[in-house]
Amino acid sequence: MIEGGRPCPEGTQMTPRDENVPASSGRRMSLLTQMLLIYTSIGTTVVAGALVFWLTHKFVLIALHSGSMAGTLVPIFGFCITCALLFGNIMHQVASLGHLKMRRDTRPPTADELHAIYDTEAPPIRFIVPSFRENLRLVRYTLLSAALQEYPDRRVTLLIDDPPYPSDAKGAEALRAACRLPRDLDMLLARQAAPLQRALEAFVERMADSAVDVVGETRRVAKLYRGVSTWFLRQAAAIEPTDHMDRLFVEGLLLKRARAHAEYAQALKQRARDKSQCPGPKRLLRVYRRLAAQYVVHMGFTRYSSVFWVGANAVIRKEALDDIRIPIEERGFTVSKYIQDRTHIEDTESTIDLVEKGWSLYSSPRQFAFSATPDDFGSLLIQRRRWANGGLIIFPKLLRYLLSRRKVPHRFFQGILRSGYLINLSLGSVAVLATLVYPLPNGLIFCLGIAGLGYAMVYGADLLRMGFRLRDLPQIYSLNLMMIPINLGGAAKSIHQAWTGKKTPFHRTPKVKGRTLAPFLYVAAEYALLLFCMFVGIIAFGHGKIGHGIWALANALVFVHIIANLMGDHIPWGGAAVEESG
């Protein structure tokens, strides 16, 4: 069932074949090689950290022997910068190692184990799809993607958060279209579901009346699967792909399901040629039920019990929500509040609430969902600034949990990974800027260099494992450098909220075609960082600090690339940003 503002008729849903293939020995060797690389990189980082500590101790002693107390502050400052960068380094390596161990140790369920759920009464699942002035095509694809998951007892609910009384005709029509969508999709799915439901009922009657002709039934169900494959092909043919979202939906869902059902139909047809190879009555009942019931980036953290709930794509037990529920007063009424909205990353704070109550979070190694990323600087800025706002506020709650006397699984690694998740955006951004302001001693630069080389190798291996290329590494560095003002902007909002007690306004990621103008301050900050890097580089060369000058001018070149290629045609005087508040 797909629900909107009113009850909807029953629909059905379809799914691809199981794609869990045991890892080959070659793949296991590949995993072992990558794990050896990570262990080597972690060891290098630990050695670099020890050298940093030894060098800092040496510089402090020299300053003290010379009678300069103020002179001790310089090496201590360098020590703090270096440790902040090494912390982010080690955090990623530990998470990457956990990811590989998860892949090594996780045995995917077989198709038979997954489909056994159709033999019993399954607990209900509800898919909730929130929508606030969303692109109707995106909402349609999301609803169908949820409806086409393979599970016996589920419902899909569209939560429409648009203003109930739009101020213009365009908004009113968009609201009416969103309200019609669940009903239209239900009708589409119900037309395909009806013959499949009748086929199941007829098979159940034949099972009760006489011995089952397994050959004939196998041929019947093969024909049904072939018909379902044809239905998927028709749905795919009705869409003219115009962008990556269309292509993902058509190729990653519709055509993939069409192929899966066609292959399964062919396999059943082959089995029907030999009675001994045909499924038995119980297995045939399961296959009929599957037909009739159808149509309607944290794995490493999981290894160390450190995963955070990602709100956009998650399955949550109702009992868990009940455990973190609190009563609140709302306009004179007592209501239950399940998710705390103290910050704009409410799923992150709710993770701490859940683990404090003894619940575990798990991120599956398999890819189940896709999430769209803003494709222009203005939209990306609004999204990532919101994500960077809240970690510093939640961090004290995490510390209380880690320092409590209760049994905390993998306490040490939880401390590293969860802390890094909350504070590393701010800490890392400050540390990178500090390296531009303060010329580190050559010894510390050497330590960062060898640790950074290991980090780059691990990151490169991660990219290759996910289907990217090594030449994407510079682009990722550019993106991270571009995020520095945005991350610091989010951190500043967190500090402002902690100081004043007033939550900052929520800004939704704009869902508009074309370019979203960015706020003047953030665009100007990118230009200012370019000029600052150039200035620091020239001054450093003038004072004979060659290493620091090269570092500054190299980052200046990166900012040139950022402004020319990543920010589009944003200019510091380019108007106001489009921000949707909700």
Domain check: are 209 and 322 in the same one?
Answer: no
pTM of the model: 0.74
Q: Is residue 487 assigned to a domain?
A: no
Cα(419)–Cα(318) distance, rounded to whole angstroms? 27
Determine which helix (DSSP H) or strand (DSSP E) holds 421, and give its type and residue range.
helix 411-437
Q: Is residue 415 assigned to a domain?
A: no
Domain check: are 141 and 281 in the same one?
Answer: yes
Q: What is the pLDDT along the chain (582 residues), one digit of tens a residue?
A: 444 443 232 232 333 333 333 333 334 447 888 889 999 999 999 999 999 999 888 888 888 888 777 778 888 888 888 988 898 888 888 888 888 888 888 777 787 788 888 877 888 888 888 888 888 888 899 889 888 888 888 888 888 888 888 888 888 898 889 888 988 988 888 888 888 888 888 888 887 777 778 788 888 888 888 999 999 999 999 998 888 888 888 988 899 989 988 988 888 888 877 777 777 777 777 776 776 665 433 455 666 677 777 766 778 888 998 999 988 888 888 888 888 888 888 888 888 899 888 888 887 766 667 766 777 788 888 888 888 888 889 999 999 888 887 777 777 778 888 888 888 889 989 999 999 888 888 888 888 888 888 888 888 888 887 778 888 888 889 988 999 999 999 999 989 888 888 888 777 776 666 667 788 899 999 999 999 999 999 999 998 888 889 999 999 999 999 988 888 655 544 443 444 433
Residue 576, token pair as written in the block? 């106001």
Say if residues 131 and 159 touch (Cβ distance below 8 Å).
yes
Closest CA to 360 of 423, 301, 400: 301
Single residue among 242, 260, 292 that ends a domain in this structure: 292
Domain check: are 160 and 276 in the same one?
Answer: yes
Q: Is residue 344 assigned to a domain?
A: yes
User: Residues with Cβ < 8 Å from 575, sequence gap 6 or more?
Assistant: 517
Cα(292)–Cα(286) distance, rounded to whole angstroms? 10
Q: Is residue 513 assigned to a domain?
A: no
Cα(179)–Cα(175) distance, rounded to whole angstroms? 6
Single residue among 292, 316, 335 that ends a domain in this structure: 292
Q: What pLDDT sits at residue 517?
A: 77
Cα(494)–Cα(349) distance, rounded to whole angstroms? 14
Q: What pLDDT sits at residue 481?
A: 92
Domain check: are 223 and 346 in the same one?
Answer: no
Single residue among 248, 263, 292 that ends a domain in this structure: 292
Q: Is residue 93 assigned to a domain?
A: no
Domain ranges, residue 239: 121-292
Q: Is residue 445 assigned to a domain?
A: no
Domain check: are 251 and 340 in the same one?
Answer: no
Q: What pLDDT sits at residue 518?
A: 81
Residue 569, token pair as written in the block? 């045609």
Domain check: are 266 and 236 in the same one?
Answer: yes
Cα(261)–Cα(238) distance, rounded to whole angstroms? 19
Could you give the number of structural domains in the chain?
2
Q: Is residue 457 assigned to a domain?
A: no
Cα(466)–Cα(452) distance, rounded to whole angstroms? 21
Chain-centre distance for alpha carbon 90: 21
Q: Is residue 189 assigned to a domain?
A: yes
Domain check: are 274 and 316 in the same one?
Answer: no
Domain check: are 137 and 284 in the same one?
Answer: yes
